[in-house]
Structure 1
Amino acid sequence: MLITIADILSPAELEEVRAMLGSMRFEDGRATAGWSAKLVKDNEQAREGAALTLIREKVTKAVMGNEVFSLAVRPKALTPLIFARYGQGKEYGSHVDNPLMNGIRTDVSFTLFLADPASYDGGELVIESVSGEEEVKLPAGHLVAYDSTSLHRVAPVTRGERMVMVGWAQSFVRDSAKRELLFDLETAKRGLFAQAGKTPEFDLLAKSSANLFRMWAEV
């Protein structure tokens, strides 16, 4: 399941995050890559320290507090967020994310875009699947979430600078198809309520949705 979510950060929050990142030091991003991903990873990441801890807390709160993210991902835990930048010529070749990070199983990968798309060329997130490739380049403050099992890459930046936050979630529901079914049921349930209120049909749909989550949740 791939989903894009608008306005994870408000314009004011986005400017604050950008200002904080502007004063931080960055280092070679290969330090956090697996042994094979190191061969194709060419970016920089914000250095560990008190400033990074503060910005992580702020953005983690925004991500976890977003209702659409909560319903689509069903997050049980997040890895520490990474803030990465790609200058001209930087890229990240095709790879799959590590299955475990900091003791957390990575079910869902997500990228929050922090730079205006008009400010840089290239730098698309390219997600591979059996049906082909999907390129993602979103407005600043928007997020894309997708299955961590997917091969993906970041296309070379040919102008400007790509700035993003990346993270991974362990979901209460490990299986992607089951998460998508729960999300669809929740969407249908809310649509039915908006049209007709709390009807017997709504109650049946709500019961089925809740009981499926209860059946599939890993706690």
Structure 2
Amino acid sequence: MTSELPEMRASDADRERIAERLREAVAEGRLDMTEFEERLDLAYKARTQGELVPLVRDLPEPAAAPAAGDPAWPARVGRPATSKGAFAFWSGFGRRGRWSVARNFTAGVLQGGGDIDLREADFEDREIVIRCFAVMGGIQVVVPPELHVEVSGFGFMGGFDDRGAGEGTPGSPRVRITGFALMGGVDVRRKERKRARKQLGK
């Protein structure tokens, strides 16, 4: 997206790129919440690229994406939490993509399902506790290979899978996943980050 074509129609992807830069700016303290909300509203209403450019003109350019296998932990730790928990009753919830997990995150499902994906997530602290409670339902937690993960939950007439537990790379946050499953399941598994999978051709 360039300012040389101000009248070109903006795509959904263009608007989302601007929205992501605004989210990063508020997380870094460059924008206060009022400015962030005003600009975000304008970003999603923008019809042309010319309307999008001024919204980030006073913000730094985004850093280059890290290479596969390099999660850039220092930049991803210490971000304000965007979610402290999730619950689903006869339904489902998802926490995926770019979000920031609270130091204490609680998830629960009752006859429902939940997905917690930490591969692209930021972290409020270096020590994170995720409590998962599944009753006649299931919660799946997806973690990247580079993350340090401990699993200590248990299941009663259900399962609490710890296959995703393991050491992380130097500087990675320490995530402890605990809780219980009653006639349900909690599945913790490791998967490559989406960006890394694309670079590897998977």
Q: Which has the higher contact order (CA 8 A, sep 6+)?
A: 1
The interval holding the TM-score normalised by the smaller chain is: under 0.3
Structure-1-length-normalised TM-score? 0.25
Structure-2-length-normalised TM-score? 0.26
